[in-house]
Structure 1
Amino acid sequence: MITLRQLIFLCLLFLFQVAIFGWIEWRWGARRIEWRKVLLADLTAVLFFALVVRQAAGYLNGWTGIYGPWPAAIGSWPLPVRLVLYLLVADFGAYWMHRLVHLKPLWRVHRWHHSPTHMYWLAGSRTSILQQAIFNLPYIFASPILGVSPFWLANALFFFYATTNGWMHLNVTWRLRGLDWILVTPQSHHIHHSDDPLHYGSNFGVLLSIWDRMFRTFTSPKDLSPDSLRFGIGEKVPVARLAIGL
C-alpha cells in the first residue's frame, strides 16, 4: 500500500518532469505529438505504475529477488565508490534483462512498453507488472553493495532512474553524437523503439551504451533521420493483458 509520503514524493517528481521535460520538448521538439489522442492513456499509465505496478512487482520480488554475495569488506569503502560500483553492476544486469525480455518467450512481458506509436518523455511510462519485477532483479542483486547508506539515497536513486527513463524517451532534435558513446541518448533509444525489423536487436542499454558496444548490439543514430523512425508493436492486445505482462 502506497503511503501519503510516497504519494507526495511521486507527485513532486512528476511535476518536476512536466516542468523540465515539457519545456525541453516545447523548445526543441522533433515530432508533432497529437496530445488529444495520447495524453490520457499516458497519464493513466503513470498512475497505474505509481499505484499498482511498483507495489505488485515489489511483492513478486519478495519471492524472486536474490541478493548478490558481495564481500563484507565492500561496506567499508567510501559511499561514492560503492555508488559507482552499484550503478555499473545494476546497469550491466539491466542490459541483459532488457535483452532477455526481447526474446520470444518473454516478449509479452515487455510489449506494453513498445506499444506507443508516438515517442516523447511520458511514452516510456508503460511498464507491465511482470516487466518491472524482472527489471528489479539486477538492482536487488547489486543492492548489498550500498549496504548501510544515508536515508535519502533510495529516493535519490528512484528520482535518478525515473529522470533517466524520461530522458531517453525525449522527443528532441538534439544530435548528441559524442555523448552516445557512453550514455543512452534519446536518439539512440528511439532506434530501440523502432518498428523496423532491422532495429529489433539494437540498443538495449538502460543508462550506459557501453554494453551495446561491447556486445555488438549498438546501432548509431548518426546516419538515421528522426523522421524516418516509426513506433509501435503492430498488433492489438487487450490493455489488461499488456499491463500485467501476459
Structure 2
Amino acid sequence: MQIVDLLSESILSLPGYLVDANKRVFGIYLVSAILLAIPAYLVQKKHVKLGTFWGYLFNKKIWFHASARLDYSLFIVNRLLKLLLWTPIVLTMVPIAIGFSGILETLFGETAPVTDNQVIIISIFTLVLFLLDDLTRFLLHLAMHKVPILWDFHKVHHSAKVMTPMTIYRSHPFESYLYACRMALSQGLAVGIGYYFFGPTLSMFDVLGANVFVFVFNVMGANLRHSHVWWSWGDKIESWFISPAQHQVHHSDKPEHFDRNLGSTLAIWDRMIGTLIRSSNVGKIRFGIGVGEPGHDSVYQAYLKPFKDNLSRMTFVKK
C-alpha cells in the first residue's frame, strides 16, 4: 500500500512543477519561451502566421517522437524513485554549512560581521550562492563527460534524438542523485561563507522564491535549450552566457561537440578551459550520441545500460 501511496503522491505532485519558480517548467518560464520563439521563427521563416507558428512550435513529430515519450516516462518514474531511494540519503545543506563555517573559523579565527547593511549582505550572498551553484554544476557536468564511468550514466541524457523542455528531466537516477548532492554542497558552502562573514541573518534577493539570477536566466529562454528552436544571443553575449543555441550544440550527435559548452548559465568556465563554442561557428546539427550508441530506447534500457556499460568497461580494464 505504501508503494501505491508514493506513486499517487508522485503523480499528483507533478502539476506543482508549473507553479514552482525553482522548476524549469514553471509556467512563466514556459510562456517566456513561447514569446522568445517568435523572433526565432521570424528569422527562420521570414513571416509569421499563428497557425503555422503553433505547428512549428508544437511539431507532432517532435512532441510525440519515441524519444520524447521516453522523456515523459523518465520524468514520472524518476520522481517516484527519488522518493523511494535517494531522498533519504542525499547530502543536506545544514551540516555542510556548519562544518565549512567552522573550518573558516579554525583557519582564520572568529570575525565580527563585516557589515550590517542588509542590502549589501543580501546582494553579496545572492551573488555568491549563484556563482557557487553555477560553478559546481559546471564541474560535475565536466566530470560526467570526462570520467568514463560517469559518462555511461550521462549518456542517458544525451541519447535524446529530439528535445522538448521535458528533456531536462531525462536523466539516470544516479546522475540525479549526484546533482542533488551537488546542490546541497554549493548551498552549504555559500551559507557557510555567508555565516562566517555576515552572521546568521542571511537571505537572498529572489523572485517568487527563486534566486533572482536564476529567475532571469530561466525567463530568458532556458526552456529553449532543450528544443528545436534555435535561439542564439550573438557572439559577444555568448562569450559570457550560454545561450539556448549553444546548449543545443552541446547535444549535437557529432563527437566534436560532446564536450563543448558544458556551462549552465555562465560561459566563463568553458572559456577558462577552452571548451566554449559559439553557435555562429556551427552549422546544422542533429541531436543524440550517434549510431554507435544504441540501447537507450526504453525506461528499462535507460536505467540498466549504464550499469552494463560500466561492467563491460571494468572487465575490459582487467583484461
Q: Which structure's relative contact order is higher, taking Cα pairs within 8 Å and 6+ residues apart?
A: 1
Distance 1:208 1:54 in 2: 31
Q: Which residue of 2 aligns with 1:176?
A: 233
Distance 1:51 1:155 in 2: 24
Question: Structure 1 residue 235 and structure 2 residue 264: aligned?
Answer: no
Q: How many residues matched? A: 244
- Uncovered stretches (5+) of structure 2, i.e. residues with no partner: 1-5, 45-55, 106-112, 196-201, 308-319
Distance 1:243 1:74 in 2: 49
8 Å contact 2:138–2:262 — kept in the other structure? yes
**Could you tell me how far 1:189 is from its partner in structure 2?**
0.9
* TM-aligned CA distance change 1:141 to 1:230, over 3 Å: same
2:267 to 201, 209, 233: 209
Q: Which residue of 2 aligns with 1:100?
A: 143
1:28 to 36, 40, 43: 40
1:45 to 52, 74, 77: 74
8 Å contact 1:53–1:128 — kept in the other structure? no
Q: Deviations over 1:156-199 (max 9, x none)?
A: 25984994752432432333113211111111111111111111
| Segment drifting more, 140-149 vs 160-169 | 160-169
Q: TM-score, normalised by structure 1?
A: 0.78
**Could you tell me how far 1:241 is from its partner in structure 2?**
4.8
Q: Deviations over 1:24-71 (max 9, x none)?
A: 446635788413225533333333344444774433424899726144
8 Å contact 1:53–1:127 — kept in the other structure? no
Residue identity in the other structure for 1:59: P
* TM-aligned CA distance change 1:3 to 1:192, over 3 Å: closer
- Aligned CA-pair RMSD: 3.9
- Uncovered stretches (5+) of structure 1, i.e. residues with no partner: none
**Could you tell me how far 1:117 is from its partner in structure 2?**
0.7
Q: Which residue of 2 aligns with 1:142?
A: 186
Q: Which residue of 2 aligns with 1:166?
A: 223
Distance 2:153 2:129 in 1: 26
* TM-aligned CA distance change 1:170 to 1:182, over 3 Å: farther
8 Å contact 1:25–1:172 — kept in the other structure? yes
Q: TM-score, normalised by structure 2?
A: 0.62
Q: Deviations over 1:89-118 (max 9, x none)?
A: 121111110011112111122111111111
Residue identity in the other structure for 2:141: H
**Could you tell me how far 1:126 is from its partner in structure 2?**
0.6
| Identity in percent | 18
Rg (Cα) greater in structure: 2
8 Å contact 1:181–1:210 — kept in the other structure? yes
* TM-aligned CA distance change 1:184 to 1:8, over 3 Å: same
